[in-house]
Structures are given as C-alpha cells and as structure tokens.
Amino acid sequence: MKPKKIVEYLFLMVVPLVLFLILGEVFLRFYLSRHIFYDVEMSRYAVTLKVDSPDPLVGHHHKPNSRARLMGVEVETNSDGFRDDVYPIEKGPKRRIIFLGDSLTLGWGVAKEETFEHRIESALNDVAPTEIINLGVGNYNTTQEVNLFFDKGLKYDPDQVVLFYFINDAEPVPQRSRFPGLGNYRIITFYWSRLKALHARLSDSVGFQEFYSALYSGDAPGWKKSQAAFRQLRDSSQQNGFDLRVVLLPEFHDLVDYPFTREHAMVTDFLREIEVPYLDLAPAFHDQRDAMSLWVSRDDAHPNGRAHALIANYTLDFIAEADDRWPTD
C-alpha cells in the first residue's frame, strides 16, 4: 500500500474518533449540568474527594477540607476528612457518638440536614446534649470502617460507636483504579458505565442479588474479614469502655420480599455470638411496596431523604437506650 493511502486511512480512523470524543465530552458536560447520572457522579466523587490512605487496610479516605457538589447536593469534609463539623479532640460535656459506615452513612445523594446521622443527632439533643461524628465514607467495607475508626476516630474518645452495616460491606477492600484520571472525562465514564450495563444485559453475568449473596457463600474472604474486623471493634469497645452497636441497613430494591434475609441472619447470628447488640432494619421496611420511591435517583438505589428519615425513626431508640439520660418509657 502506498504511504499516501496509509496516511489517508489513518486520517479517517483517528480524526472522526477525536472529533467525536471532543463533541461528546462537550455535549455530556452540558447535558449533565441539568441531569444526574450516577456513574458520572461516583467518578467525580473519586476524583474530587477521595485520596489514598497510608493505611492499606483503609485503602482510601476523604481529602480533608474539601467540597464538591455531587448528586445535586453539597458534600463538604472537615479537617479529618469527615462529612461533618469540626470537633475538638478533647471531649466536652456532651455524650459523644461515632457513626461508622459506607456511602449510606455518608449520606450519598442526600443533603447533610436530611441524613439519618443529622436527624438522630437532633433528636438526641432534644433530650440530652449529644454530638455524633460521622465517619461514613463511600465504597467502604467493614475492614475499612473499623480501621478508619482506629486511625481517626478512637482519638475522639467516644461514649458509643454505632456501625451501620450494608449487604456489600463484605466485599474485599477495593483496589485503586488502573486508570486514574479517566474519571475526569464524562465521555469515558459514560462508555465505561453503559458498556458494563450492556454486558450485564446481554451475558449471563450475575445480577446484584447473586453478586451480594455470593459475598456470604462458603469461604468468601470478604465476609471472613468483616467478621475479624467486628471482633477487633468489639475488643476495642471492651478495652476503651465505649458502647458498641450495629445497625443492619436494608438493600433498597425489594423491601417486601426481601432477598437477603439469609445473609442478614448470618450477620445477626455472628453478632449475637460475639455479644454485640444489633438492630436489623429490613423487617421495619417490609411494608414499603414502592421501593424506588426511597431511592435517590432512578439509576441509584441509595436511600433518599425520606428513607433517611425512616432509618432515623427506626434507629433512634436502639441508639438511645444505651444512654441513661434517655427516658425509658
């Protein structure tokens, strides 16, 4: 083939692709300024608020003193990287509680004032001075939550620690993306997300139910590591004298015929065995027939503000019963 022809073929392959990527990026940025697209928002979260942790058991944590508008709400981190106010290390007269968890505890897609953390803190404060420090970070599993507590939470000398457990907290510690920076490009995120969805639709790949259930099957390493992390946290509560409780949050796809009853029973059986008080919220949501009305968006099953309000209502007494200032009736 003549060199001139080769140049022409290359031209016809490369130029339209580059042109399409540029036009697509411009169009998507315009479109997404008016619409929310879950995978793009999660990629933006990774780029704007997450950073490597020096602790490999934590993996990543939030950048301190950072802010971003994600899923249409402001997310701002304090000097410790928590989505919360700044608290002095030294404890004052208020009862101090620490919440551990993942994106649900963080309040993904929900304004801070609407999170269950904020609602529970307000309700407790109506009775007796209380402060809750929210250590929730997106994409965390139990190992990360517990080790973040050891790295950054224990110094606050809490009276109580509540770990909010979600079905995917038994996943292995997530690995760093092999392509850092790709999250900066909407067109790349769009194709990554949609091709993943296409693959799931056309192949025999497992759906979210089978994926989550598999985390608890046989010798699944993630669940074993979660159990080890729970034991570490229980031991720490005994050594440091704080009350430890666990709340199991439901998965919000099907609340009537809840598909993870067996997995929740495995978690609660284990917590009973290591003598940690727990509250399973899945039965409390059993009458919610329209599960999607509790989602933050159609493509994102994280709980919205109404779901956070329900979580706060159902959880309040369980958390407060450890406080002798709380009325017992």
Partner 1 sequence: MADGLIKKYKWHLLTIVGLYAAISLWLFFFTDSPQDVPFEYEVH
Distance (Å, rounded) from C-alpha 314 to C-alpha 296? 19
Name which of 92, 60, 94 is nearest 77 in CA terms. 60
- If binding is defined by CB under 8 A, does position 183 make contact with partner 1? yes
For residue 181, is it left (φ>0), alpha (ψ between -120 and 50) or beta?
left
Contact of 127 with 326, CB cutoff 8 Å: yes
- If binding is defined by CB under 8 A, does position 228 make contact with partner 1? no
- If binding is defined by CB under 8 A, does position 162 make contact with partner 1? no
Nearer to partner 1, 23 or 274 (CB): 23
Nearer to partner 1, 127 or 195 (CB): 195
Among 301, 311, 312, 319, binds partner 1 (CB under 8 A): 301
AA identity, residue 217: S
Specify which residues 61 forms β-bridges with: 51
Among 6, 35, 52, 155, binds partner 1 (CB under 8 A): 52
- If binding is defined by CB under 8 A, does position 5 make contact with partner 1? no
- b or e along 247-274 (b: 16 or more beta carbons within 10 Å of the residue's beta carbon)? bbbbbbbebeebbbeebbeebbebbeee
**Going by C-beta distance under 8 Å and a sequence separation of 6 or more, which residues neighbour residue 263?**
167, 212, 213, 215, 216
- The CB-of-322 to partner 1 minimum distance in angstroms stands at 30
- If binding is defined by CB under 8 A, does position 46 make contact with partner 1? yes
- If binding is defined by CB under 8 A, does position 259 make contact with partner 1? no
Chain positions 208 to 227 lying near partner 1, rule: CB under 8 A, are: 208, 211-212
Cα angle: 46, vertex 50, 54; to 5 degrees = 135
Contact of 111 with 76, CB cutoff 8 Å: no
Distance (Å, rounded) from C-alpha 301 to C-alpha 297? 7
Taking contact as CB under 8 A, which single stretch among the options 3-11, 265-273, 282-290, 316-324 is the one that binds partner 1?
A: 3-11
Q: Site mask, partner 1, residues 90-109, x = CB under 8 A?
A: -------------x------
- If binding is defined by CB under 8 A, does position 42 make contact with partner 1? yes
Q: Which residues bind partner 1 (CB under 8 A)?
A: 7-8, 11-12, 15-17, 19-20, 23-24, 38-39, 42-43, 45-47, 50-52, 59-60, 103, 138-139, 168, 174-177, 180, 182-183, 189-191, 194-198, 200-201, 207-208, 211-212, 253, 292, 295, 298-301
